[in-house]
Chains A and B, each alone.
Chain A
Amino acid sequence: MNPVLRKTLADIRRRKVQTAVVALVVLLSSLTATLALTLLVESDAPFDRAFNRVQGAHLFVAFDTKQVTETQVRATSSLAAVAAAAGPWLLSPASIALPGGRTRVIPVAGRDRAGGAVDRLTLDSGRFVQRLGEVVLSQQLSDETGLAVGDALAPGTDSPLPSLRVVGIATAIGNEAAAWVMPGQLPAVSTAPVPQQYLMGYRLRQASTAAQITAAIDAITQHVPAAAIVDTSNYLDAKLNADRTTAVMIPFLLAFSVFALLASALIIANLVGGAVIAGTREIGIMKSVGFTPAQVVRVFAGQLLIPAVVGCLLGLPAGILLSQPFLSDTAHAFGLPRSFDLAPDVDLLGLAAILLVVIATTVLASLRAGRQSAASAIAAGSAPSSGGGSRLARLTRRLPMPRSLSFGLGESLARPVRSAMTVGAILIGVATVTFALGLHDSLTMVASAVTRDRQVQVQVYRDAVGKSPQAGLSEEQATALIASQPGTARFVAVGHADVNVAGAGHPVAVYAYRGDASWLGYDLIHGRWFSRSGEAVAPTAFFTRTGRHIGDSISASLYGQPITIKLVGEIFDQQADNILLRTGIETLPGRTTVWNYEVQLRPGSDPSTYAAAIESAGPGLSARINRENGVDTAFLLINSVLAGLAFILTLIAASGVFNTVVLNTREKTRDIAILKAIGMTPGQVVAMVLTSMAVLGALGAVAGIPAGVALHHNILIVMGQIATSTGIPDRFFQVFGANLLVLTAAAGIAIAMLGAMLPAQWAARSRVTEVLQTE
C-alpha cells in the first residue's frame, strides 16, 4: 500500500474522535445546506409543479342549471381556446351541521371519480366515493371541522343531503367544492336560495396572463345562452398567493445555508489547525524518514477529507429526507397535493460547495505542516512550552476565584486563534437562535395581526344583502340583535364600496365603518387611525402604488360622485392585494349598505355559542368564528422550518465547541493528569473545562445577539416586501424583551456547555498514572 495512504488510514484509526467530529460536522453542514437548498428550489413555484402534476384547471366556470343544459356546457370543451376540459359536475350548496349546534353552507360537487383529464383530486387518506351515502371532504374542510375518515357528515337545516359517511379526504388544486359525493346523491332540483350550478374545469391553450383567460371566458360566454355563466375563477390568484408566501422563505433559507457553510468552515479549519499542532512532533518524524512536504500535506488532508466525504454522503440523503416533511407542510399550506420532491442538480452543487470548503480549509491548514522543517517540528513537539501563554491568559489565571475556575478562564484565552474560531461558531449558533426566536415571535404577531383574533372573535354576515330585499333582517334590526346579545363587548358595522382613485390602476376597495373602528387591530406603521369624516387609512401597497403620502388628500369618485379623502395613516393590512382604504361610513356619499359586522366578545363568552345564537335569532345572518376564516398556515410552515434549521445550526455550533474542547483537553492531557495527581477532583476538572468554554459561549452570545437582532430586523423587512409589499409596524420588531435576550445569552452558554460536557467528562475520567507514565 502507498505509504501516504497507509499513514493516512493509520491516523484515521488512531484519531477516532477527530475523525468522528469531522464526519459529524460535515454531515450536519451538508444536511443543513441540502435541506435549505432543497426547500429553496422546491419553494420556487411549488404551485406550478403541483398544478401541472394534477392537470390543474386554468379556469373554472359555473353555469346556472336553469339557463343552460348539460349538453350545452359539455360542448364548450371543444372550443379552440380549450386544450382539455372536465365536467360538467353538478355543484349544489348544502347545509352541514357544525359543533355547537351551528350550520354552514358548503358547495358539494357530484363527481364519480378522482382522476380525469383536468383537476385530478389527490386523496390524502381513505378512498374516493363509490356509492350513495358516501362523501369525500376537502382537506381544508377536514381541517376546519375536524372530521376524518369514518366520521359522519351530518346535514344542517334544509339540507338536500342525508347524513353521509366520510370515506376520504382529498386535496384539489382548485377550491371550487368542499366535498364530493356520487352524482346521484345530489337532487336534480335544488330548493335552496342559491341555484345549482354545472361546474366545468378547463385547461387553456394560452393561460399565462389574465387577458388570455378573459379571452377564453369570452369565447365560452358566446357559446352558451346569455346569463348562463354565474361565476368564474382562475388559477392566477392562487398561484400568486402560493408563490408569494414561498418566496418569503427564500431570504432566511439563504441566510441559514450561508451560516451552515460558514460554521463548518470555521470548525474544520479549527480542527485541522489543532491536528497540525498536535501532530507537530510527528510531522518532524515523517519528514526525517523521507516524507516530502507534499506528502505530509496529503497525509493531513487525507485524514480529514475521508471522514468529510463520508459525512457529505450521509448528510445529503438525510437533508433530502428531512426536507420532505417541510415540503409536505408547504403543499398542505397551499392546499396542494403532497409528493416526494428532489432537486438533484442543486443538491449535488451544494455537496460540491461543502467539499470545496472542506478541501480549501484542510489544504490551507495542512500547508503549515508541510512547511515546517523536520528538526524544528521535532523540537517544538517535544519541548515544554517556555512561557505562560498570552498575557491575558496569565492575568486571568490570577483572578481571585476558585483555582479550577481561574484555570478554566485562562485556558479559554490560551490559544487566541482557536478561541476566536470557536467564538465564531458559537456566534453563528446564537445569532441563529436569536433570529429564529425573534422571527417566531414577530410572525406570531403578524399572524395575530392578520387574523385579528384578539380583537374580533366573530364576524356576522348579512347573507341576504343584494339578493332579496325581503329576506333577512334590516341593518337596524341586525344591529339591534347584535347589541342585545349578552356576549357582545363591542362591534362595528362594515360597508363596502369600490371607488376610483387616480393612479391606483383599478377600483379601490373601501371598507367603511359605522362607529369607532380604531380597536379592530390594524397595526399602524406610520400616522394615526382616522378620526373624522373624510379621513382614511391605507396599507403600504396603496401608498406605493399611488405615490401618495400620509397627509395627502386624494380625489376619488363613487358612482360618479366626487369624494375627497385625506390619508392619515399607513396600516399593516393583508386583505386582498392591499390596494384599499379603510374609513368611516360617513366619508362615502349616500347610504352605504352594511354587509357585515365585526364583533368583539366579552371575556368568557364562547364564540361557537355566540355564533349559533346569532344564526338562530337572525334570519339571513350567518356568523363565522374568526379562526374559521383561516389562520395562514404559511406562518406555521415558516415557524417549523425556522425551528428545524435553528436546531441543526445549534448542533453544528455545539459540535464546534466539542471539537475545540477535544483539542484543548488532548493538548492538556498531561496538565490535567498532573492537576488530578496533586488533588484536583473530577468535578473540579469538569468545572475547569466548562468554565473555559462558558467564557467563549458568553463572548459568542455578546456578539451573536446583536448579529441575530440585525438579521431579524433586515429579513423581516425583506419578507414584508416580498409577501405583500408592506411596511412592518415597529411593534413587530420589538420582540427582544429582557427575557428573550437572557434566553439567547443563555443559549450561547448552553451551546458551549452542550459541546463541552462530554469531553470534559472524558478529561475528568482520564487515568493519571497512564498519562504520567508515558512521559
Chain B
Amino acid sequence: MGRLVELTAVSKVYDGDREHAALDSISIGLEAGQATAVMGPSGSGKSTLLNVIGGLDRPTAGSVVVDGSDLSRLNEAALARFRRTRVGIVFQFFNLLNNLTALDNVMIPAQLAGARAGDARRRADDLLERLEMAGHRDQYPARLSGGQRQRIAIARALINNPTLLLADEPTGALDSHAGEQVMAILADLNRSGQTILLVTHDERLARANASRVIRLVDGAVVTDRHETTRAMVQVQ
C-alpha cells in the first residue's frame, strides 16, 4: 500500500517559544488502511500532530502531504474543502451542534460539500443505521448519552467517505462500556479498509487496536513500533 500521509521535518511552535516546541521536526509516514495510535503524556504534542495532519492547524516548519495534497500550499478555503472531503474528525468531547438533531448533525458535511438534501439524508440514515443510532435520528444531542453522541460524531466524520479518519481521544469522555463500544466501531471500520489515526493516552486501547504505535515526548517521536501482526481486535 502507498503512503497516505507524509510528514517531513514538521515543527510547530506556539507564540515563538522555540524552547518548548509542540512538534519538533517530526518526519513520519502513514500507510493507507493502517490504524495508527499516537501516544504520549499530556502536552507531548499528540493533539497538535493530529490537528496538523487534519488541516486544523498549520505547522511552523516542514511539509504535510495527505492523500497527495500538500497542506502548506492550501489557503483557508482549500483547507476547509480538504477537511470536508478527505478527512473525518472525531473529537474527545464530540463537538456536535446542540441546536441540530442527530440526523442534521450527520448531514452537515455532505451538505457543505454540495450534496442534495435527499442524498445527504440517505447517506446519513445509512450511517446511523450502521452505528445503531437510527432510533435517535431526530433527537438533539443534549438528550443523548456520551456514547450515543460519539456515535453520531463518528457518523458525521464518515458521511463524505474520507480517506483518513482522525480520532482525538475518542473514548476520553466516555465510561468504560461506552468507550469499548466506540473502539469496536473504529476497529470494524479499520477492518473494512478505513485508515485511522488515533490519539490516546490509554496504553491498553492503543495496543489492542492499532497496528502501529507512535510515542511522542516533548514534541518528538521517541518510539515508532509496527506490530508484526495486526492487533486490531474487536473488543466486544
Residue of B nearest to A683 (CB): B77
**Is A236 an interface residue, CB under 8 A from the partner?**
no
Are B112 and A684 interface neighbours, CB within 8 A? yes
Q: A674: which B residues are within 8 A, CB to CB?
A: 95-97
Residue of B nearest to A388 (CB): B99
Are B112 and A404 interface neighbours, CB within 8 A? yes
Q: B100: which A residues are within 8 A, CB to CB?
A: 388, 397
Q: How far is the CB of A393 from chain B (nearest CB, A)?
A: 8
Are B98 and A677 interface neighbours, CB within 8 A? no
State A219–B231 Cα separation when bound (angstroms): 124
**Is B212 an interface residue, CB under 8 A from the partner?**
no
Interface centre among B99, B117, B141 (most CB of A within 10 A): B99
Within A735-771, the residues touching B (CB, 8 Å) are 764-765, 767-769
Q: A767: which B residues are within 8 A, CB to CB?
A: 57
Once A674-B95, A677-B56, A679-B112 are accepted as A-B contacts, the answer to whether A385 and B81 lie under 8 Å apart by CB is no
Chain B contact residues, majority secondary structure: helix
State A414–B97 Cα separation when bound (angstroms): 14
Residue of A nearest to B84 (CB): A679
**Is A772 an interface residue, CB under 8 A from the partner?**
yes
A-B pairs, top 3 by smallest CB distance, nearest first, are: A679-B84, A681-B80, A403-B111
Are A676 and B140 interface neighbours, CB within 8 A? no
**Is B113 an interface residue, CB under 8 A from the partner?**
yes
Interface size class of B (residues with CB under 8 A): 35 or more
Contact of B113 among A397, A400, A679, A768 (CB under 8 A): A679
Are B91 and A680 interface neighbours, CB within 8 A? no
**Is A547 an interface residue, CB under 8 A from the partner?**
no
Once A677-B83, A678-B156 are accepted as A-B contacts, the answer to whether A769 and B97 lie under 8 Å apart by CB is no
Are A387 and B99 interface neighbours, CB within 8 A? yes
Are A414 and B80 interface neighbours, CB within 8 A? no
Once A388-B140, A772-B91 are accepted as A-B contacts, the answer to whether A679 and B83 lie under 8 Å apart by CB is yes
Partner-contacting stretch, out of B61-69, B101-109, B192-200, B214-222: B101-109
Interface size class of A (residues with CB under 8 A): 35 or more
Q: How far is the CB of A691 from chain B (nearest CB, A)?
A: 14
29 contacts between A and B (CB under 8 A): A384-B142, A386-B143, A388-B99, A388-B100, A388-B101, A389-B99, A397-B100, A404-B112, A671-B97, A671-B98, A671-B99, A674-B97, A675-B112, A678-B84, A678-B89, A678-B108, A678-B112, A678-B156, A678-B157, A679-B81, A679-B84, A679-B109, A679-B160, A680-B80, A681-B77, A682-B76, A764-B76, A769-B57, A772-B93
**Is B51 an interface residue, CB under 8 A from the partner?**
yes
Within B130-144, the residues touching A (CB, 8 Å) are 140-143
Residue ranges of A at the interface with B (Cβ–Cβ < 8 Å):
383-389, 393-394, 397, 400, 402-404, 410, 414, 670-671, 673-684, 764-765, 767-769, 772-773, 775
**Is B148 an interface residue, CB under 8 A from the partner?**
no
Are B142 and A677 interface neighbours, CB within 8 A? no
Q: A402: which B residues are within 8 A, CB to CB?
A: 111
Q: B190: which A residues are within 8 A, CB to CB?
A: none
Q: How far is the CB of B17 from chain A (nearest CB, A)?
A: 16
Residue ranges of B at the interface with A (Cβ–Cβ < 8 Å):
47, 51, 56-57, 76-77, 80-81, 83-85, 89, 91, 93, 95-101, 104, 108-109, 111-113, 117, 140-143, 156-157, 160
Once A679-B84, A681-B80, A769-B57 are accepted as A-B contacts, the answer to whether A385 and B99 lie under 8 Å apart by CB is yes
Are B101 and A775 interface neighbours, CB within 8 A? no
Q: A389: which B residues are within 8 A, CB to CB?
A: 99
Residue of B nearest to A771 (CB): B95
Once A403-B111, A403-B112 are accepted as A-B contacts, the answer to whether A677 and B89 lie under 8 Å apart by CB is yes
State A404–B84 Cα separation when bound (angstroms): 14
Residue of A nearest to B89 (CB): A677
Are B76 and A386 interface neighbours, CB within 8 A? no
Using a Cβ cutoff of 8 Å, how many contacts connect chains A and B? 93
State A729–B162 Cα separation when bound (angstroms): 70
Residue of A nearest to B91 (CB): A772
Q: B81: which A residues are within 8 A, CB to CB?
A: 679, 681
State A676–B93 Cα separation when bound (angstroms): 16
Are B83 and A678 interface neighbours, CB within 8 A? yes
State A129–B168 Cα separation when bound (angstroms): 89
Q: How far is the CB of B99 from chain A (nearest CB, A)?
A: 5
State A772–B91 Cα separation when bound (angstroms): 9
Q: How far is the CB of A143 from chain B (nearest CB, A)?
A: 57
Interface centre among B109, B111, B112, B143 (most CB of A within 10 A): B112
State A683–B104 Cα separation when bound (angstroms): 21
Are B109 and A678 interface neighbours, CB within 8 A? yes
Q: How far is the CB of B82 from chain A (nearest CB, A)?
A: 8
Q: How far is the CB of A669 from chain B (nearest CB, A)?
A: 12
Q: How far is the CB of A754 from chain B (nearest CB, A)?
A: 24
Q: How far is the CB of B100 from chain A (nearest CB, A)?
A: 7
State A678–B107 Cα separation when bound (angstroms): 11
Contact of B77 among A384, A388, A682, A768 (CB under 8 A): A682
Are A679 and B101 interface neighbours, CB within 8 A? no
Once A388-B100, A404-B112, A769-B56 are accepted as A-B contacts, the answer to whether A681 and B76 lie under 8 Å apart by CB is yes
State A270–B56 Cα separation when bound (angstroms): 34
Q: B91: which A residues are within 8 A, CB to CB?
A: 677, 772
Residue of B nearest to A383 (CB): B142
- Apart from A678-B157, A682-B76: 7 A-B pairs, beta carbons within 8 A: A384-B142, A385-B98, A403-B108, A403-B111, A675-B112, A679-B81, A769-B56
Once A400-B117, A678-B109 are accepted as A-B contacts, the answer to whether A387 and B76 lie under 8 Å apart by CB is no
Q: A775: which B residues are within 8 A, CB to CB?
A: 93, 95
Contact of B140 among A386, A682, A683, A772 (CB under 8 A): A386
Q: A678: which B residues are within 8 A, CB to CB?
A: 83-84, 89, 108-109, 112, 156-157
Q: How far is the CB of A406 from chain B (nearest CB, A)?
A: 9
Q: How far is the CB of B75 from chain A (nearest CB, A)?
A: 9
Q: How far is the CB of A665 from chain B (nearest CB, A)?
A: 15
State A773–B108 Cα separation when bound (angstroms): 22
Contact of B95 among A400, A764, A772 (CB under 8 A): A772
Are A384 and B109 interface neighbours, CB within 8 A? no
Q: How far is the CB of B188 from chain A (nearest CB, A)?
A: 22
State A80–B156 Cα separation when bound (angstroms): 100
State A344–B112 Cα separation when bound (angstroms): 58
Q: A764: which B residues are within 8 A, CB to CB?
A: 76
Are B76 and A677 interface neighbours, CB within 8 A? no
State A677–B95 Cα separation when bound (angstroms): 10
Q: A772: which B residues are within 8 A, CB to CB?
A: 91, 93, 95
Q: A682: which B residues are within 8 A, CB to CB?
A: 76-77, 80
Q: B57: which A residues are within 8 A, CB to CB?
A: 767-769
Residue of A nearest to B52 (CB): A769
State A386–B81 Cα separation when bound (angstroms): 30
Q: A393: which B residues are within 8 A, CB to CB?
A: 99
Contact of B142 among A387, A397, A403, A414 (CB under 8 A): A387
